[in-house]
Each structure stands twice: as C-alpha cells, then as structure tokens.
Amino acid sequence: MTSLTSFLRAALVAVLLLPLTSAPAQAAPDDWTGPLSTRGRWIVDADGERFKLRSGNWHGASGTWNGSGSADEDANHHAGENSGRIPLGLDRAPMAEIIAGFREIGINSIRLPFSNEMIHDTRPVTDDAVAANPSLRGKTPLQVYDVVVRDLTSAGLAVILNNHTNTTRWCCGVDGNERWNTSQSTQTWENDWLFMARRYQDNTRVVGADLYNEVRRNVWDDPNWGLGDDHDWFAASQRVADRLLLEANPNLLIIVEGINWTGIPVDGFAHERPTLEPVRHLSHTLVDSGKLVYSAHFYDYTGPNHSGATGTGETTDPRYRDLSPSELIDVLNRQAFYVSSEPDRHYTAPVWISEFGVGGREETGAKQRAWFENFVDHLIRTDADFAYWPLVGWHEDRKGNGWALLHWDAAGNRMGLYDGDDWRAAAWTRLIGAQGRTGPVAAVADWSMLSPDDGDFIASRRMRAQPDWNPGARKAVCPDGQRLLGLSHTGNRGLCSDAGFSAGSGAYEVVVDERHVRQDWASGYTKLQCPDGSVLTGYSVRGSAVSAALCTAGSVGGTSGRPVWFDRGDNRGPAPKGGDFAYGHYKGQCADDEYAAGIAYTGRVGSGRTPDALYCRK
C-alpha cells in the first residue's frame, strides 16, 4: 500500500466519522523549543513555556517475544503481535502514516522503549518486519530505531528514550528484566545509557532519558531505595543520572520511575507496590537542577498491594479497579501524585504517569471501564503529564489486542480511536482537551537533599572537577548556586536551597578548625565557621562525625548571626520549607532569608561529634 493511498484513506475516514466524534483541536506539536527542563512541578521548554507531556508509548524495540518457543512465530509474542525487534507496526503501515496518527489523536511526545540487547544486536531486521517501509530493509534494530527517532522529531514530536528491558523480550514478570542489572552488569547498563545519550545529543527534540522500566523483585531478591547495595535503585539511578548529565548530554530530562514491586505475592507474606512513596524520605539531587522528573505506572488490574497477577501470584488484596473513586484518589496521591502537588519540598518535581491504559472496543467489564474514567479524571484534576500504553497494535476484522489507540491489519487498514465504536474516545478527548496550565512558568526556588549515606554525595559540577578536598571522608556538596540551609543531628543528611539568593561561585575553602570564629556563638562546642563573606555549601563526615565544612565565597555581608540548636529536637522555624530531609532524626534549619555560616559539635563522651547547631546569618 502506498503512502498516498494510506493518506487518502485516513483523510476519508476522518471526514466520514467527524460527525460521530473527533479529537479536540490542539496546538501543533512542533510549536515548542527544546531542550526541556523543570521549574518546580512543571516541565518547561527552552523559552520557559509549560510543555505538558501528552505522550504515548510506541513499543516493540524492547521486545514482544514471550520467552518460549520460536521468536519467528507470531503466536509466541505478546497478544500475537510480533514487532520484529523494532517499533510495532512498521510491517503494516508506512512510518509517516503511523506518526500522522499520533498527531491526529493529540500526542506531542513519544516514550520509545528499547532493550540493552537491541543496542548490540547486529542481525538485520527481516524484510517482513518492515514490509510497509522498504527503505528500512537490511538495517539493524538500532538503525531502525535511529530512523524512528529522526522521523518522530522531524514531525515535531518530543522523544523520551526508555530503557525498558535488558533482553529483547516482553516485560514484566520474572523474566530476566527485573532490575537494571539482572541479566547484565551495572557497568554495562551505564555504558549503554551513555552510548544512547551521546547518539542523539545533537537532536534537541530527544528530550529525556527514562532510566529503567518497572524495577521489581526477581525470584529471590527485592530491589530497595537507599540501602547502598547492588539492588539499590535509588543509588543506581542517582549515579547513572549524574553520569548522563556530566558525560553525555546535559540537556536531557532524567526520568526516574519508582519501585514497581517488592515482596512475595502470597497472602500472609509482605508485598507491595512502593511506587514513589520512598521519595518523600529520600529524593534525588542531580548535578543540574531542573532536570529531574519522577514517573509511575497505574493499571486497573494492579493495586497498591496487588501484583496484577491472575492465578500464580494473585492475592486477595484489592486492585485499583476495586477502589471507590475517593479511595482511588487517596491511594494515587499517596503513591505518586504528592510529589508534584506539594511545593517547596526536596522532592518536588513533575510526575509523569508514563504508563496507563485499558482495553477498548471489547472491554465490557464495568469495573475496568469505571477505573479508566476515574483515572482520567484524576489526570485532568491534577493537570498531570501522562503517556498511554500502547499507541500501536494489530487488528484483524476489527478484533485483536484492543489496548492500542491505533490498530492496523495485515493489509494496512487502520482502525483508530475515533472510528466511532471505541468507548475510550470520550475519555481520551476529555484528557487531551483538558484545560491545564499553559504559558510562561516563573522560576521557583530549588530545594535539594544531600544524602552521603554510603559514600560521597557531591551534587556540584564545580566541586566534582576539584581534587579530593577531604580524603577518606564522605563528602556532601550542594548543587552549584545553592547553599546549605539545614543539617540533621544524626543520619548525615543535609538540605540545600537557592531560596532568596544564589550561593555564588567564588573561591572555596575547606575549614577544619576554629580559625575564622570571631565570637563564641556555641560556648563549649567546637565550631567550624566560614570566613566572613562566605557561605556553607557542603560538609564532610567520618562515620557519623563532622569532619570538615566547605565554604564558598559569595555576595554576603554581616559578621553576626544566631545559633540554631537541634541536638534535642527539631528546630526548623514555624513554617519550614524543604520538607523533612532527615526522617526520624533531629534536624535544624536556617530561615529562607539566611545562610548557614558554621557548624557546631562537641567531642565529649557519648556525643559522636555529630552536628548540634548551625550558625545562621541574614
């Protein structure tokens, strides 16, 4: 089928069906300027205009094979849809027709899954896999992926690279793809990400790196968020995120999905979907502020404590579709949406619901349909960024998987969301056409957590380029432009911000004694104080004990201040911003219009030499 024939057919269908239902008018997807960044909970383009991710998943390059039988047989692929190791549908419709379909339904961005195996796969795709796109014959899966990225971005769509799987097979059970390092080493995973980020670094419409999909338990082990071992998803994502920004492409949004599953899915054993709940107590601080986006997935058949399994792995816990509308809202907010709804916290960031979906024409379940309507309502209510799963599927005689918004049959005939018989059309129209925030987004103060729990936590580009300023100690440094405003008495955590003013980038000094103390603001305590005209931007610890203070010269004056004691309880002022940056520990914090200029501690028996007070100056 020629591209012209496909275009005419699509145009005719659209005209004939317009009286039944039609997609709402949207601004052209190319009416934006990359790269993207964040301001508080909003994603913005290079001009500071809000850019809402109205996205869809174009799956296939991460694999559709179920893992048993011949991969050449369609029946051995998820829903019988064999992608041929490349984005699904290229055997049935020209690329231009598929992309035009995305624009037609209001999509402005694509989550484009890939597998690590795909990157290294040198086998050419089969001719059958690209039957509708003969120019792709003889290419490897990565080369086809290149063309897809090029054509999507040329059409004005933003592309988010998504490392979906290690191996090129269907996700997401106990399948060898549970963690970033299940079927490969962490080093391989990091190297592959650097390769992909560099490959598209000159294309400013490749806007994001979605680091890994649905991190979950394998047969024996759980992932975790902050334990410091090789299953620590927080540490692994923090490390690769900084490497991408420092070594590959500083323009990328870094997208971190919460943990999808921990525990044994059997009644009587602990199990849950933590999603983004751990972020409240331990959040990422990247070397570049304004680049972090969190993400989560929600489907009707899963639940806050339900894996989504039927049969083996099924428990009596409620699924999301079993919850009342008010219960669903409470759970969604607790598990994910709080991150974007609570401003001025160390964890405040955009939340991208990068997967949600439901069956279309043949889905008759009342609970499933109600869940989808209620979930769409919450996306609209919260003005959330989203990505539907999936965009593309197969059909024969208007029957098939049914989850996709656009289907093609073997002859290249398209069945679309707006063909008049898909019950999801009205909800999708509400979602795409919903009135949310638009236009310029003003800059906001950044609040950042420092967590040198298991090693250095240097969030400053500048200080990463310097020699080791306190060998043998664990060092924590605020992002460039931010200053230290809070410390915990135990636990080694810190809080940084640029609220009120930027910390500047003058000369730095490592302070290990009292040489700059002009007045005794903490009698009987050892005081590490910055020189006049400098602010605290970092600290180091040995074990739990204070080791040194890092001071940076800036445009600050005054030689007097006040001690803020926190050795016997929290002391963060009446309405502290930044959130609880050291959950379960006493902590102190300077006011928003102050800066920390010193740390006091005592070495007397039983003290541990942990921080007891901050010296705060206006």
pLDDT in tens, 486-517: 999 999 999 999 999 988 888 999 999 999 99
- Asked if residue 403 belongs to a domain, the reply is yes
Could you report the per-residue pLDDT of 7-32, keeping only the tens digit for each? 333 333 333 333 334 555 454 566 89
β-strands 253-257, 292-297 pairing: parallel
Q: Is the dihedral of CA 121, 127, 128, 130 positive or negative?
A: positive
pTM for the structure as a whole: 0.95
Strand-pairing partners, residue 496, are 448, 484
User: Does 441 fall in a domain?
Assistant: no
Contact at 8 Å (CB) between 453 and 463? no
Nearest to 163 by CA among 107, 116, 108: 116
Any domain includes 137: yes
What DSSP assignment string belongs to 436-456?
---SB------EEEE--SSS-
Q: Which ranges of the chain have pLDDT less than 50? A: 1-21, 25, 27
The DSSP bridge pattern shows strands 399-400 and 392-396 to be: antiparallel
**Are residues 112 and 187 located together in one domain of the fold?**
yes
- Shared-domain flag, residues 481 and 361: no
- Please tell me whether residues 287 and 404 are part of one structural domain: yes
Examine the domain organization and report whether 425 and 460 are in the same domain: no
Q: How far is CA 435 from CA 38, 50, 380, 423, 438, in A?
A: 20, 13, 8, 22, 8
Within this chain, do residues 498 and 426 fall inside the same structural domain, yes or no?
no
> Any bridge partners for residue 386, and if so which?
54, 353
Contact 270, 317 (CB under 8 A): no
Contact call for residues 552 and 570 (beta carbons, < 8 A): no
| pLDDT score, position 23 | 56
- 454 and 407, same structural domain? no
For residue 333, the 8-state DSSP code is I
DSSP helix/strand/coil, 297: strand
Same domain as 535, residue 467: yes
State whether 536 and 480 are in the same domain. Answer: yes
Asked whether residue 16 is domain-assigned, the answer is: no
Q: Which of 433, 466, 501 is the last residue of a domain?
A: 433
Q: Which domain holds residue 556?
A: 447-617
**CB proximity list for 599: less than 8 A, separation 6 or greater:** 487, 527, 528, 536, 539, 546, 549, 611, 613, 614, 615
Residues 497, 404 share a domain: no
- Which of 380, 400, 433 is the C-terminal boundary of a domain? 433
**pLDDT at residue number 19:** 33
Q: Is residue 5 part of a domain?
A: no
The reply to whether 280 falls in a domain is yes
Closest CA to 235 of 213, 209, 256, 210: 256
Both 390 and 477 in one domain: the answer is no
Residue 328 belongs to domain with CATH number:
3.20.20.80
Counting the structural domains of the chain, the total is 2
State whether 508 and 573 are in the same domain.
yes
- The per-residue pLDDT for 24 is 52
Residue 142 counted as domain residue: yes
Same domain, 477 and 389: no
Helices (H), 333-477: 338-341, 366-382, 425-433, 461-464
Question: Is 274 inside any structural domain?
Answer: yes
